[in-house]
Amino acid sequence: MSAKSAEEQTRIPRSLAIIMDGNGRWARKRGLGRIKGHEHGITAVRESVEECARLGLEALTLYAFSEENWSRPKQEISLLMKLLERFLVEERPTLQKNNVRLVHAGRIERLAPKVRALLDESIAETATNTGMVLCLAISYGSRAELVDAMRAIARRVASGELQADDIEEKTISAHLYQPDLPDPDLLIRTADEMRLSNFLLWQISYTELYVTSVCWPDFRKEHLQEAFAAYAARVRKFGAVLP
């Protein structure tokens, strides 16, 4: 791993989120089954994790499986879960080598016990790593996350621990799945889709959006660098007027 250059340091977001899209299209163009696209997507995940860690990002959140993805054909779900199991075992050395700490966002209770166990093991094994946090959004939906947060807040109000009038934006942020992660500075979506697809809706209020036509299995560090260069050129005003 080479150290990041001064030029690179000026253009990197602190926190990045990616909607990894286009695996199916990538496979179809090659006359392959959809799962082959997901399989090749693992290489793009590995390369993105390594490059983001090398550049010193604090957090990378990947949309690996949405709440809505549970409605895909049973066979695709089962192959995606197998792939996730493989990823959780085979990528541990990559996470360790890059000092990456794994965390999870989503309704974990919907996952099969074996996937949950492997996820818990990887999370425990990387818990003391001090570098980038890799957040895998699995069985994740932003509306579900907000529902879960509202329920937790309502329980605190019902118990008298919290007053309704004391609920602030930061109260809601504090009840999300990963409250300590910084909001994304940049959101990348691959395969040319201009949608948010129920991803991090609360967290991306002031996030810069970047869409590329590259399908996820083809996404490499050059594409990441292109996105970071575009991000560096953006003027972020957060609703204010610049002096």
Catalytic residues: 21, 69
Q: DSSP string spanning 82-103?
A: HHHHHHHHHTHHHHHHTTPEEE
Among 21-29, 157-165, 179-187, 232-240, the segment contacting ligand FPP (CB under 6 A)? 21-29
Q: What is the C-alpha to C-alpha distance for residues 159 and 83, in angstroms, rounded to an integer?
A: 42
Shortest spacing between CB 182 and ligand FPP, in angstroms? 21
- 23-31 long-range contacts (CB < 8 A, ≥24 apart) are 23/215, 23/216, 23/217, 25/191, 25/215, 26/215, 26/216, 26/217, 26/218, 27/217
> How many chain residues touch ligand FPP (CB under 6 A)?
20
Report the residue from 51, 60, 87, 101 that binds ligand FPP according to the rule CB under 6 A. Answer: 87
Q: How far is the CB of 160 from ligand FPP (least distance, A)?
A: 41
Find out whether 220 and 46 touch, Cβ atoms under 8 Å. Answer: no
Strands 133-140 and 208-211 turn out to be unpaired
**Residue 64 binds to ligand FPP (criterion: CB under 6 A):** yes
Binder among 45, 52, 118, 227 for ligand FPP (CB under 6 A): 45
Which of residues 38, 101, 104, 189 is near ligand FPP by CB under 6 A? 38
User: CB-based contacts of 73: which residues, under 8 Å, 6+ apart?
Assistant: none
C-beta closer to ligand FPP: residue 108 or 162: 108
Query: What token pair was written down for 152?
Result: 């937790």
92 binds ligand FPP (CB under 6 A): no
Exactly one of 16, 20, 60, 102 binds ligand FPP (CB under 6 A); which one? Answer: 20
If one asks whether residue 81 binds ligand FPP (CB under 6 A), the answer comes out as: no
Among 32, 77, 81, 83, binds ligand FPP (CB under 6 A): 83
3-state class (DSSP) for residue 8: helix
By the 8 A CB rule, do 142 and 148 touch? no
Give residues in contact with ligand FPP (CB under 6 A): 20-25, 34, 38, 41-42, 45, 62, 64, 69, 83-84, 87, 136, 191, 216
